[in-house]
Amino acid sequence: MIVAILILFSGYRVVRDSVHILMEGTPEGIFLVDVEKKLLTHPQVQEVHDLHVWSITSGLNALSCHVVVDGEMNIHESSILIENLEQSLLELGIHHATIQVESASHPQTEAHSDALVCDISEQQTEGNNHIGHNH
């Protein structure tokens, strides 16, 4: 009877953790506010939006977000910025990051809200395009 109870409890924990990973929930011990603050400590980053952190597997955390910078950056400069941000995220236990760099003057940045999904329903389209995107 004791062995059955131990198996039941350990099985519950494994299923609970697996469902959390499959549902792409924020990993335990990582707080989005702390991640945002960490990204904003870089002098070139003005704003962070569309921030999402999840576990790929137990102990391997991933991040995706957009960072807004002042002025125009070339590809080399933005690559250096992304590398610096990825290194700082390692301190928080985030091992894989996908970071999109946007200029504050870019039209999409002005039209973009803090929502998780880009709302294009009210934007004028020309052909198969809308502000900042091509489909």
pLDDT tens-digit series, residues 68-124: 998 778 889 999 999 999 999 999 989 999 999 988 776 555 555 554 434 555 555
Among residues 11, 81, 20, which one has the least CA distance to residue 48? 81
DSSP 25: P
Q: Which pLDDT score, from 0 to 100, does residue 134 have?
A: 42
Cβ 64 vs Cβ 50: under 8 Å: yes
User: Structure pTM?
Assistant: 0.65
AA identity, residue 14: V
Q: Where are the domains of the chain?
A: 22-115
Cβ 69 vs Cβ 101: under 8 Å: yes
Per DSSP bridges, beta strands 60-69 and 94-103 are: parallel
Per DSSP bridges, beta strands 45-57 and 94-103 are: unpaired
CATH topology of domain 22-115: Alpha-Beta Plaits (3.30.70)
pLDDT in tens, 15-48: 876 665 665 566 778 888 899 999 999 999 999 9
List b or e across 30-53, with b for residues whose CB sees 16 or more CB atoms inside 10 angstroms.
beeeebbebbeeeebbebbbbbeb
